Amino acid sequence: MIASRVTVQEADFDLAAEVAALQHGREDVGAVASFVGCVRGGASEAGVSALTLEHYPGMTERAIEGMVAEANRRFRLLGVRVIHRVGRLEPGARIVLVAVASAHRRDAFEGCEFLMDYLKTHAPFWKKETTPGGERWVDARVADDEALRRWGIASENAGAPGRPSPSS
Amino acid sequence: MKVTVKYFASLREVLGAGESFEWTPAGAPTAGALRAWLQARTEAHATALAPGRAVRVAIDQEMADESTPLQDGAEVAFFPPVTGG
């Protein structure tokens, strides 16, 4: 039985505490892989001073729980922890945590990457950037759909395959 | 039939959070038919939901496509492509 927990919250999270919780009280965990996504700022991001994240309460949690169930069918997982922050976040802030526990590293690495690729294209979150020139909604990337298609899952979030994304 | 429409992100900014109303579809009650019907409501709806705009749809909090039929009481959300993670 996989232990999994999905949380959408404004507060920051503690990576070490979450990894420890995945291992707590069990000796069958031989690997924990984690991914932490952060807000980029500075010159490479055209002076982004903040990101504001919005989501679809209720659907978000259900959607991610469905992704965890799919990950559990594909890989031998022992535990999954997903935390996604919402609200206003400044450069350097943590946005998302996906941590996956397994007996062996391969399932942990792949389960973690699969969940991030799935979440990027199918969880109902939206990012708005604040820059010196004003605010703008971030565009979805076709590369993220391609990342999910590598797992054999159709994905047309940013646009249909082979066609540019219509602007919105 | 009764439907609850929700908008998120850039669509919410121009159309509001959404509303519940009685809808009498002219043909099959699909998410696409509802989108087309909503376009006729105001100039803002016509622009935000125009054909060719990248609008995604969820029905009862599940990702769906426009051909999906709606049941009475459905919650239908329209939003731009998602950008989380």
A140/B82 Cβ within 8 A: yes
User: Torsions phi, psi of A109, nearest 5?
Assistant: -60, -50
Of A95, A123, A128, the CB nearest to B82: A123
Determine the pLDDT at residue A41.
83
Of B10, B52, B79, the CB nearest to A166: B52
Whether the pLDDT of residue A77 is over 90: the answer is yes
Mean of the per-residue pLDDT values of chain B: 96
In this predicted model, what pLDDT tens digit does every residue of A112-132 receive, in sequence order?
A: 999 999 999 999 999 999 998
In this predicted model, what pLDDT tens digit does every residue of A129-152 receive, in sequence order?
A: 999 889 999 999 999 999 999 999
The minimum CA-CA distance between A37 and chain B, rounded to whole Å, is: 7
d(CA A70, CA A88): 30
Whether the pLDDT of residue A46 is over 80: the answer is no
A56/B77 Cβ within 8 A: yes
Residue pair A131/A119 in contact (Cβ under 8 Å)? The answer is no
Q: Please state, in angstroms and as integers, the Cα–Cα distance from residue B22 to each residue in A12, B5, B32, B41, B45, following that order.
A: 42, 11, 17, 14, 18
Whether the pLDDT of residue A161 is over 60: the answer is no
Q: Read off the pLDDT band of A44 (50, 70, 90).
A: low
The DSSP symbol for A88 reads E
B-facing residues of A in 93-152 (CB < 8 A) are 95-96, 116, 119-128, 137-140
Strand spans (E) along chain B: 2-7, 18-22, 56-59, 62-64, 74-79
d(CA A119, CA A81): 13
Whether the pLDDT of residue A168 is over 50: the answer is no
Q: In chain B, which residues have their Cβ closer than 8 Å to the Cβ of A54?
A: 8-9, 12
- What's this model's pTM, rounded to 2 decimal places? 0.93
Whether the pLDDT of residue A165 is over 70: the answer is no
- In a 10 Å sphere around its CB, with 0-12 CB exposed, 13-18 middle and 19+ buried, how is residue A138 labelled? middle
Residue B38 tokens, joined? 């909503």
Residue pair A46/B48 in contact (Cβ under 8 Å)? The answer is no
Mutate to test the interface with A, among B13, B75, B79, B82 (most CBs of A within 10 A): B82
In this predicted model, what pLDDT tens digit does every residue of B34-70 receive, in sequence order?
A: 999 999 999 999 999 999 899 999 999 999 999 999 9
Whether the pLDDT of residue A42 is over 80: the answer is no
B77/A59 Cβ within 8 A: yes
B80/A119 Cβ within 8 A: no
B-facing residues of A in 1-30 (CB < 8 A) are none
Determine the pLDDT at residue A154.
92
Which chain B residue is nearest to residue A55, measuring alpha carbons? B8
C-alpha of A101 from chain center: 16
Q: In chain A, which residues have their Cβ closer than 8 Å to the Cβ of B8?
A: 54-56, 124, 126
Determine the pLDDT at residue B7.
98
Average pLDDT over residues A45-62: 93
In this predicted model, what pLDDT tens digit does every residue of A81-105 receive, in sequence order?
A: 999 999 999 999 999 999 999 999 9
- Tell me which of A44 and A64 has the higher pLDDT: A64
Report the candidate in A89, A154, A86 with the shortest Cα–Cα distance to residue A121: A154
Average pLDDT over residues A41-49: 76
Whether the pLDDT of residue A54 is over 90: the answer is yes
Whether the pLDDT of residue A167 is over 70: the answer is no
